[in-house]
């Protein structure tokens, strides 16, 4: 495995924590291929096709990669299961390390890489939509270092007040829009409604690869933050 070309590590990157599903292939610190779909409930049918296409397009196999990185959560129960099971299958089959990257960390790096931070922004707060006015969130500085804790938070008009009083804050993720309705008039609040992308996982994934921070492929499970609650169908069985 590994060091595919010119001594540069190659990684397969997988992100399935929200309604969007994406996969990327990297060489060194560059993304050399990317696929994405926001088709609802299509993760299981799209992901393997995306990865196979990216590898063939670049004349590679999974065995020639140095690792496979996957979003570990929090996020959609079903989406995370699809991504993690696919990544574990690749890790087992190709004999390459499994790397996990937090979904909120991915969003923080996405904000930095896409130059979404307003001038003077001191805090990035990724938000994943949960139920009603609840989000999964944490806090990061403008370099992508986590400065808070991942938590489930019910939003109100006083949420993140101290951060907003200190200066500009970027709220990013598929939960950002509902918070904008509560504090959208604050001049220090900036919003980017979006889903995390596999391409934004590269920097933290490379850091883990370089430091040998791998998951146990056999026992690794996604970080759901909250337990999955199945709902009963309201349709009559008669």
Query: pLDDT for 177-218, tens place per residue?
Result: 999 999 979 999 999 999 999 999 999 999 999 999 999 999
The predicted model gives 11-16 an average pLDDT of 99
* pLDDT > 70? residue 230: no
230 Cβ partners below 8 Å, 6+ apart? none
pLDDT given for residue 131 in this prediction:
84
pLDDT given for residue 86 in this prediction:
98
* pTM, two decimal places: 0.92
131 Cβ partners below 8 Å, 6+ apart? none
pLDDT given for residue 234 in this prediction:
39
The predicted model gives 125-136 an average pLDDT of 95
Query: pLDDT for 59-97, tens place per residue?
Result: 999 999 999 999 999 999 999 999 999 999 999 999 999
pLDDT given for residue 64 in this prediction:
96
| Averaged pLDDT of the chain | 93
Complete domains list, the chain, with CATH: 10-103+196-210 (3.30.420.40), 110-192 (3.30.420)
pLDDT given for residue 1 in this prediction:
52
CA atoms of 81 and 66, how far apart (whole Å)? 22
pLDDT given for residue 5 in this prediction:
56
């Amino acid at each position: 495995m590994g060091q595919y070309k010119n001594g540069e590590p190659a990684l397969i990157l997988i992100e399935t924590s929200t309604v969007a599903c994406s996969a990327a292939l990297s060489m060194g610190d560059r993304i050399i291929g990317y696929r994405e779909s926001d088709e609802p409930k299509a993760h299981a049918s799209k992901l393997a096709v995306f990865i196979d296409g990216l590898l063939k397009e670049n004349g590679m196999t999974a065995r020639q990669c140095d690792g496979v990185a996957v979003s570990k959560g929090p996020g959609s129960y079903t989406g995370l299961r699809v991504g993690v099971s696919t990544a574990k299958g690749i890790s087992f089959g190709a004999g390459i390390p499994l790397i996990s990257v937090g979904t909120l960390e991915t969003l923080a790096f996405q904000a930095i890489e896409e130059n979404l931070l307003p001038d003077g922004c001191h805090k990035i707060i990724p938000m994943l939509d949960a139920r009603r006015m609840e989000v999964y969130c944490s806090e990061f500085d403008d370099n992508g270092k986590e400065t808070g804790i991942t938590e489930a938070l019910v939003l109100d008009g006083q949420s993140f007040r101290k951060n907003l009083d200190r200066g500009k804050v970027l709220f990013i993720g598929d939960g950002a829009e509902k918070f904008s309705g509560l504090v959208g008039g604050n001049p220090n609040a900036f919003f980017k409604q979006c889903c995390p992308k596999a391409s934004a996982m590269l920097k933290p994934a490379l850091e883990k690869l370089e430091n040998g921070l791998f998951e146990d492929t056999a026992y690794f499970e996604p970080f759901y933050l909250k337990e999955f609650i199945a709902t009963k169908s309201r349709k009559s069985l008669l």
